[in-house]
Copies of this chain bind each other. A is one copy, B any other.
Amino acid sequence: MTRQIILGMHLGNGYGALPGAWRAPGVDPTNYVSFDAKVRHGQAAERGKFHFLFLPDGPSLVADIENEPPHFNLDVMLTLAAVARETDRIGLIATGSTTFNAPYNLARQFKALDLMSHGRAGWNAVTSSGEDVAANYGARLPSSAERYGRAHETIQVVQALWGSWGREAWVHDQATGAFANADEIAPINLRGQFVGSRGPLYIPPSEQGQPVIVHAGGSPNGHELAGRFANAVIGAAFSIEDARAQRTAFRDAAERAGRDPDEIKYFPGLMTTIASDRRTALDRRIALTQRTFPQRAAYLMQILGLRTEAIRLDEPLSAAQLAAARPSPQDPRSAHALKIAREGWSLTDVLAHGVIDYHPVIVGPAIEAADHMQAWFEAGAADGFWISPDIYDDGIDAFVDGVVPILQERGLFHQDYAGSTLRDHLGAPAQYGVDPRAMR
């Protein structure tokens, strides 16, 4: 089978990836607490045959709350429970911290979601960083070594619990009265340096056996963790070169762990504002983000090595400024920002291109998004992408109706779901319990 692009849809706070999405015309400002909205957005992504939804999480209130909504869902598991009930095929990946959750609680809730969704659950297993999160748990943030040590143990304990109810254990034979075969349900008796559990868990296998493991994070510790356990990586990269290097690092880590590198898929992020033409798209983005432009303009000048006095947002950089500009090696977005500035856009328009946003940004016609993804995909920089639309309410539809058909015409994206589980969608191998290769 020809290799094709895998797509995930970012679902955060109910509004969209841009800070002003909650104020946009037609957006219900109560979407933050609306599970109807989350379901509607999940269904919109499923209409576009997205392989998965991705819900980031960080149990802390981090936002300029006077002006912007929190970034995350009220609760990622309850959100996905609602979406699971009202979708059929799309994969459901939630973030769950290995730092501040007991393995037993993670194991049962993710596996219950996996049963509930008929094999569509994925666990983005990440370490928590930030003293604000730790403080919510009445704790100090452990060292990086301890956090990653605990993460390795937690994933193994969780997977062992998932496998503790044997594949064939659940007989439920009404005629004979045999409910389960106790011989195939065994304690795991795992005890590491940081966590442990006796088990067994009381949940039978799902249609995909057990949830898929996902990781997010690009440090050497992250490579090592993902290389052992993950079938997918939620990444962030600003250039083909950077993405290819990251993808290679994860693939190499998988190989070091004794795995086929194709078992781990790398997905850099992509933010989108899709419109009929660049100007319309820029204006949409300006409306959603311009409150942040004074601050961002100052930062932009800084990474171009320019003085921040007398910023004129409504004018292009002058010839003298462009001549003096030197992209900072400290910020990987600098060179692209200068390239856009050289095209003669006003500073507002330069910023509206998303040149200092969290991911590469497409601001324009659907074909530009398709071209971007094709280029990265064919350069070996990505196995797919996770998409952050500006506003969920119509931004998902714009992608689904604009970008998806182009990718499909080019043979780069599936016409429909081939399988029914997340494991199918990702091409992840069958697994039940802990992968023995990860226990070395």
Q: State how many angstroms separate the Cβ of A295 from the closest Cβ of chain B.
A: 15
Q: Does A23 contact B177, Cβ atoms closer than 8 Å?
A: yes
- Nearest to A107 among chain B residues (CB) is B136
Q: Is the CB of A74 within 8 A of B179?
A: no
Interface residue A66 (Cβ < 8 Å from any Cβ of B)? yes
Is residue A112 contacting chain B, with contact meaning CB distance below 8 A?
yes
Q: A201-209, A299-307, A370-378, A417-425: which lies at the B interface?
A: A201-209
**Of B60, B74, B79, B136, which contacts A203 at CB under 8 A?**
B74
A132 / chain B contacts, CB cutoff of 8 Å: 198
Contacting B at CB under 8 A, from A401-432, are none
Chain B hits for A178, CB < 8 A = 66-67
- A residues 78-108 near B (Cβ < 8 Å) are 78-79, 81-82, 85-86, 100-105, 108
B104 with A196: CB separation less than 8 A:
no
Asked if A163 is at the interface of the complex by the 8 Å CB criterion, the answer is: no
Would you call A199 an interface residue if the criterion is a C-beta within 8 Å of the partner chain's C-beta atoms? yes
- Tell me whether B198 and A136 are in contact (CB under 8 A): yes
A202, B22: Cβ atoms closer than 8 Å? no
Pick the contact of A61: B30, B115, B185 (CB < 8 A): B185
Tell me which residues across on chain B come within 8 A of A33, comparing CB atoms: 115, 203-204
Q: A321 contacts the other chain (Cβ, under 8 Å)?
A: no
Q: Could you say how many copies of this chain the assembly holds?
A: 2
Whether B195 lies near A138 (C-beta < 8 A) is: yes
CB atoms of B116 and A35 under 8 A apart: yes
Q: Taking the nearest CB of chain B, how far is it from the CB of A206, in angstroms?
A: 8
| A75: interface (CB < 8 Å) | yes
Contact B61 A138 (CB under 8 A): no
Shortest CB-to-CB span from A102 to chain B, Å, is: 5
Chain B residues with CB under 8 A of A22 = 172, 174, 179
Per-position contact with B for A49-74: 1 when CB-CB < 8 Å, else 0? 00000000001110001111110101
Q: Within 8 Å CB of A182, what residues of B?
A: 65-66
B75 and A78 form a contact (CB under 8 A): no
Give chain B residues whose Cβ lies under 8 Å from the Cβ of A109: 75, 77-78
Q: Give A286 to B390 CA distance when docked, in angstroms.
A: 61
Interface size on A, residues (CB 8 A): 68
- Interface membership of A137, Cβ < 8 A: yes
A168 vs chain B, min Cβ distance (A): 14
Given A61-B202, A67-B179: A136 touches B104 (CB 8 Å cut-off) = yes
Per a CB cutoff under 8 Å, which of B68, B75, B172 touches A30?
Answer: B172
User: Contact at A181–B82, with CB atoms within 8 Å?
Assistant: no
Q: Which residues of B contact A200 (CB under 8 A)?
A: 61
New A-B pairs, 17, CB < 8 Å, besides A66-B181, A75-B108: A22-B172, A23-B174, A35-B115, A59-B105, A61-B185, A61-B200, A61-B202, A74-B115, A74-B116, A74-B202, A77-B77, A78-B116, A82-B82, A102-B137, A103-B138, A132-B198, A137-B197
26 contacts between A and B (CB under 8 A): A22-B172, A22-B179, A29-B172, A29-B173, A35-B85, A59-B104, A60-B202, A67-B177, A67-B178, A67-B179, A74-B111, A74-B112, A75-B113, A77-B81, A77-B109, A78-B81, A79-B112, A81-B82, A85-B85, A85-B86, A101-B105, A102-B138, A105-B105, A135-B197, A137-B197, A138-B198
